[in-house]
Structure 1
Amino acid sequence: MLALVLCLLAAACSWRHEDPPAPRSAACRPGDDTLRTATGGDLTGTDIRALLIQHWAEERKFPVRIVQLPDTADGQRSQLVASLQAGNPYCYDLVNLDVTWTAEFAAQRLITPVDPGGDDFWPAASKGVRYGGESWAVPWNTDVGLLFYRADLIGPGGLGTWDALAETVRTFRRERDPRVRAGLLTQLRAYEGLTVNAAEAVWRAGGEIVSGEGEKARVTVDEPAATAGLLDLVKAVGDEDSPGLPVIGDSSRHLDEQSSLERFLSGDALMLRDWPFAAVQLAQAEKRGTGEDRPRYGATQLPRARTGGSAAALGGQNLAVVAGSGHDALARDLLTYLTGAGAEHCLRDGGFVPARRSALAGECEAGKYVGGATPRGTELPADFRRAYDTALRAALEDARTRPVTPYYAAVTREIQQRVGAMRKGDVRPFAAELTRTLRGR
């Protein structure tokens, strides 16, 4: 674990990497002169989140240490839970939580209620910070599933529903590009990506894995629509070496977000289900291409549900104040700054999807929020940009949340195990087991 220290109170201070402090609760005394925020790495390559924090520290004349958590979501959650349950020996004041963790941290009172302020956040993002009738975090950056496709080979017209997508794959003539081995690549490895794909498959079929929230939550995964969605997902996976294109390539069973993107970039598939971060790498590949073989990419919403509603899962991260922080007021001030409309504009320019609707348009006031020029990610080609922006806004308006429960870590493992069993032909009902898991039993 690395701690990135923003020493901003003296001219001699500079950025440096160092080991975290030895666990000692005495370091968390109110007189301690460092605010600590824990977060995962910035995959955009722009360091925009750190620049926003740095500028706040300079303006407030109070140093901030950014504690970088492990790269994987599971590793981040495990480290945060272990530390906060042990009395917060590393003295975290502000933590960056995956959208699925907020209920768990709230139920254990590891974080404190906050006021998100206003109604500018995307609907599902606002829903994801609430637990037990209170808001426990504020959306910072968000994510939503999108469908990327080879615009030089297919158009978006036949991708609006799962049945239409499957027909597009079935009728594609492989001689148009012999490298293509599958219709769609996605993330079906046994990790959170599999849970997301399972949820989206259930929603496409008009079902729910869990209906309702809190004490009123009811497991509905065995109802006909939900079961049909899971079976559609499992049956769509096929051999990439077969004469006809499988709807979903079987390599997806071993892929995550980055590896599926790499396979798509190599030309293995017509389509890719992934998060918005993929757009930048696709744009870079398109710009590097030359001649008639240069790939072109497009983006659209994931196939809609048979009932007409959205079937796209919300992702992203929320900021929360740690219970018992020695710098509660400062932590709340930093949280408000980072999640405000101005900072959210800069997040967007730095490569993140902002959690606020208003931040999808307008410019970052770099001098006010990051002390200079905003780092910008790769610009998308004009046609790609128009399609991407349209798809992103529509998907965020209708995005759906995974089950909101303090026991989400166990729930997601149960879903992954059962989908794995379905692949092997075991289609026994599992609502009873999932209900026990949802209740923490």
Structure 2
Amino acid sequence: MLRALSLTMAVLVTAGCAVAGNEGGGDTGTGGTGPITFATGRDTTAYLQPLLDRWNQAHPAEKVTLLELPEAADEQRAQMVANLQARSTRYDVLGLDVVWTAEFAENGWIIPLERGFFPLDRFLPPVVETAVYKDKLWAVPYTSNAGLLYYRTDLVKKPPRTWAELREQAQEVTKKHAIGGYGGQFLAYEGLTVNFSEAVQSAGSQVVSPDGTKVTLDVAKAGTALDFLRQGLREGWIPTESLSYKEEESRLAFQEGRLAFARNWPHAYGPARAELGGKVGVTMLPGLDGPGSSTLGGANLAVSASSKHQQTAQEFIRYFTGLDNQRRVLTEGSFPPVWTELYDDPELTRRFPYLPVLKQSILAAKPRPVSANYNQLSLVIASSVSKALSPPYTESARDVAASVKSELEEILRTQ
């Protein structure tokens, strides 16, 4: 009874906030209960449906239906935005990339949530911040993420800590074993923005301030980061085909034995171990002078402002982000959980030996800018860096970095 009363009060609070921030919207039935849909990126590990089935068995009048969106984040966002701009009631719960929170909140597409209804104090602190915009909670963290360096333990004696060590080892492996040295996500999309941002951070700079209000890109350091990637492509230890890699292509290239090193998210660990067994090692991304810095990734769950069943949607989010399901997110989906205590669980660390490294990487990771214009910022970076990584390299890396900085500053001036 107390729990039901708590949620009712939370919904009434969020209803008022949603109406205030969404003038002109139709009757969305803010406190409604009933069947809901969960729109999220394609489930490549088939772990989601069993979790949904557990909810459906316990809530026959409030069943949830999975709506799988494309695998690529850019395409997921495009479909969600088209739906939300039309004020469609098709989506109830939204699986958002952590960088979309500000944009979706600013546009009134999602509703603010009551902090006290969710156990946020038991989540990793940096992860919670990805769900906050203008001091309000707009979503609930569901998975976290940080980039990791995967390597072949049968080909590499000691994992690299610096770019110089990565280059030396990748060149050696390429020469001895006739396979690619290193690959990341270098196609012109959000993944390239992430890879470039990590390189810039690992060189000692940051693209934009955490609050998204100022471009902080150091042109010299960004040029050094871009030159490192260019050097790998020119020298051949970064294979040219990696310019077409997204997450899945780079994951397959590594687990199929075509790469000795690969930058990817933690979800790639399970399939790689299944294919390569004990030949898979994981470490922090290398940097210019020591361990580098990852970009903080992950997914948050939000409630559509057009949903007719927002009370059920919030109850479902609370269920889906609970401790038991967070354990299953890791054990069955190979995605990093958001509950801090799971990273120190002896049983889990035996099964997933990369957890201590991952926790360290998440706590040291840099968030992407909290900006309603993040998509514009990302498009500029991905487009410019993609051109800069492709021959004939007519423009210096430093000039590319200066141009990127100028374009980003223009976007922030007009926001």
Could you say which TM-score interval applies, normalised by the shorter chain? 0.7 to 0.9
- State the distance in 2 between where 1:435 and 1:354 align: 35
- State the distance in 2 between where 1:237 and 1:403 align: 29
Instruction: State how 1:231-270 maps to structure 2 within 5 Å.
Output: 231-238=227-234, 240=236, 246=237, 248-270=238-260
Unaligned runs of 5+ in 2: 1-25
C-alpha distance 205-68 of structure 1, shift in aligned 2 (>3 A): same
Unaligned runs of 5+ in 1: 1-24, 241-245, 288-294, 365-378
Out of 364, 377, 391, which is 2:357 matched to? 391
- Answer whether contact 1:348 1:359 (CA < 8 A) is retained: no
May I ask how many residue pairs the two structures share in their alignment?
A: 377
**Secondary structure, in 3 states, of the residue corresponding to 2:199?**
helix
Task: State the match for 1:410 in structure 2.
Answer: 376
- Answer whether contact 1:169 1:183 (CA < 8 A) is retained: yes
- Answer whether contact 1:407 1:439 (CA < 8 A) is retained: no
C-alpha distance 156-356 of structure 1, shift in aligned 2 (>3 A): farther
CA offset digits 1:23-50 (Å, max 9, x no partner) = xx899797784222212221113x3x33
- Answer whether contact 2:254 2:272 (CA < 8 A) is retained: no
Task: State the match for 1:12 in structure 2.
Answer: none
Instruction: State how 1:131-142 maps to structure 2 within 5 Å.
Output: 131-142=133-144
**Secondary structure, in 3 states, of the residue corresponding to 1:425?**
coil
Alignment of 1:168 with 2:169, yes or no, is yes
- State the distance in 1 between where 2:273 and 2:253 align: 15
- Answer whether contact 1:28 1:89 (CA < 8 A) is retained: no
Instruction: State how 1:22-421 maps to structure 2 within 5 Å.
Output: 33-45=34-46, 47=47, 49-61=48-60, 62-90=62-90, 92-114=91-113, 115=115, 116-157=118-159, 159-172=160-173, 174-175=175-176, 177=177, 179-180=178-179, 182-214=180-212, 217-238=213-234, 240=236, 246=237, 248-287=238-277, 296-304=279-287, 306=289, 310-351=292-333, 352-360=335-343, 362=345, 385-386=352-353, 388-421=354-387
CA offset digits 1:317-338 (Å, max 9, x no partner) = 1001112432222211111111
- Answer whether contact 2:95 2:299 (CA < 8 A) is retained: yes
Amino acid at match of 2:372: P
Of all paired residues, the percent bearing the same amino acid is 32
**When you count helix as a share of all residues, which structure comes out higher?**
2
- State the distance in 2 between where 1:337 and 1:301 align: 32
- State the distance in 1 between where 2:32 and 2:297 align: 37
Q: Deviation at 1:228?
A: 2.2
**Secondary structure, in 3 states, of the residue corresponding to 1:277?**
helix
C-alpha distance 330-363 of structure 1, shift in aligned 2 (>3 A): farther
- State the distance in 1 between where 2:384 and 2:269 align: 32
Deviates more, 1:64-73 or 1:80-89: 64-73
C-alpha distance 410-357 of structure 1, shift in aligned 2 (>3 A): same
- Answer whether contact 1:311 1:400 (CA < 8 A) is retained: yes
Deviates more, 1:401-410 or 1:424-433: 424-433
- State the distance in 2 between where 1:41 and 1:169 align: 32
C-alpha distance 135-404 of structure 1, shift in aligned 2 (>3 A): same
The TM-score, its normalising length taken from structure 2, stands at 0.82
Q: Deviation at 1:170?
A: 4.3
C-alpha distance 440-54 of structure 1, shift in aligned 2 (>3 A): farther
Amino acid at match of 1:205: A
- State the distance in 1 between where 2:386 and 2:155 align: 32
Out of 384, 388, 406, which is 1:422 matched to? 388
Q: Deviation at 1:385?
A: 4.4
Q: Deviation at 1:212?
A: 3.5
- Answer whether contact 1:193 1:256 (CA < 8 A) is retained: yes
